Structure 1
């Protein structure tokens, strides 16, 4: 996962993957079949971990708006960190693979959809709690948040500072309520 996260799918060589996993070529092929299958497993694991962690965080948050505000503000505060420089494996993969044919790009799109579904749940809850107007399009707002997080991760990856990222986040959050 770390190799794909740092280098991307296409740029990750089989040799680098073998070294990172301390496996022989035959062991890799026996366990995963090929590089593509290994990538699919790494992306699935990353997605399930991320979405699961965020879902649990949403479930215990005092409000959905508190969850969203905290998530976006904390992400902005990662500016300048190694984590920010690496970006998000899901957004990195979606940007790299785009709308190509094949399983890697399909799985990247599926991962984006999983993040959007989590944001949809948060927006629906925020509407029920009265923090977002109930008449606003929930699907559009969930996509707006996915787009905002993808943009924020890209901004941070490109070296934006915490102030710039923070200002962008405040505008994004303001857009949820107006």
Structure 2
């Protein structure tokens, strides 16, 4: 028996991928409806029927980014055997994404709502929440390293997590600014080279 109802005239996943890349390149406020419909190859009525609103579409695009192109951080923290290896894999894996000429440069989570008008603060906060979760996940990985004996119990895991997250987000901005990938890799070399110093307990800290 033939299915009832009018079939969807476009591939929703393909359309969402197109929207993701536009938001990633132009930012939330810089993206016009015509940019979206052109990239998604649909008309405005289909866009609103399928996704509800520009903000809802953006939030779905962010989730798609996090589960596909932007998954290097979560994968590194989950798969690498040591915290040091996880941090290094996180930084190096993201550089490959940030500098990929086949996609917009930098990180969508960092760049897509860097500046928002008051009426769009919810969008900016949505991405800020994603960045805070990345820091929390990095901190959890370091805490696991403490529990497994890789790091000393006195290690200031929050400060170490903050440091490497700041490096990660800075690399995204530099990639968008056109900094050559060799320089990005040099920054990672230096950041990873500081690992032993950063995780060493402060001798002046009281027990």
Q: Deviations over 1:70-108 (max 9, x none)?
A: 222344466854268611100112423499763211211
Q: Distance in 2 between matches of 1:93 and 1:176?
A: 30
1:89 to 2:108 alignment: yes
User: What's the CA shift for 1:113?
Assistant: 1.5
Give the TM-score normalised by the residue count of structure 1: 0.82
Q: Distance in 2 between matches of 1:23 and 1:79?
A: 28
Is 1:164 aligned with 2:183? yes
Alignment size in residue pairs: 178
For the 8 Å contact 2:76–2:90, the answer to whether it is kept is no
The separation in 1 between residues aligned to 2:52 and 2:133, in whole angstroms, is 26
Distance in structure 2 (CA, Å) of the matches to 1:139 and 1:87: 25
With 44-53 and 57-66 compared, the bigger mean Cα shift is at 44-53
Report deviation, 1:35: 1.3
Is 1:103 aligned with 2:144? no
Name the structure 2 match of 1:7: 26
| Secondary structure at the counterpart of residue 42 of structure 2 | coil
> Which range moves more in the overlay, 35-44 or 69-78?
69-78
Any gaps of 5 or more consecutive residues in structure 1?
A: none
Change (3 A) 1:133 1:157: farther
Instruction: Please identify, of 72-81 and 145-154, the stretch whose mean Cα deviation from structure 2 is larger.
Output: 72-81
Between Structure 1 and Structure 2, the one with more helix by share is 1
Highest RCO, 1 vs 2 (Cα 8 Å, sep ≥ 6): 1
Aligned mate of 1:141, from 151, 156, 160 = 160
Q: Note the C-alpha offset of 1:48.
A: 4.1
Q: Is residue 29 from structure 1 mapped to residue 33 from structure 2 by the alignment?
A: no
Deviation at 1:12, TM superposition (A): 0.9
* Paired residues of 1:133 and 1:177 also in contact (CA < 8 A): no
- Rounded to whole Å, the distance in 1 between the matches of 2:182 and 2:41 is 41
Structure-to-structure mapping, 1:102-141, within 5 angstroms: 102-141=121-160
Structure 2: state its 5+ residue gaps: 1-19, 198-207
Q: Is the contact made by 2:65 and 2:71 (CA closer than 8 Å) also made in structure 1?
A: no
User: Does the C-alpha gap of structure 1 residues 52 and 159 become closer, same or farther in structure 2, counting only changes over 3 Å?
Assistant: closer
Cα distance, 1:126 vs. partner? 3.0
**Change beyond 3 A, Cα 1:73–1:113:** same
Three-state SS of the structure 1 residue aligned to 2:189 is: helix
Q: Secondary structure of 1:144's match?
A: helix
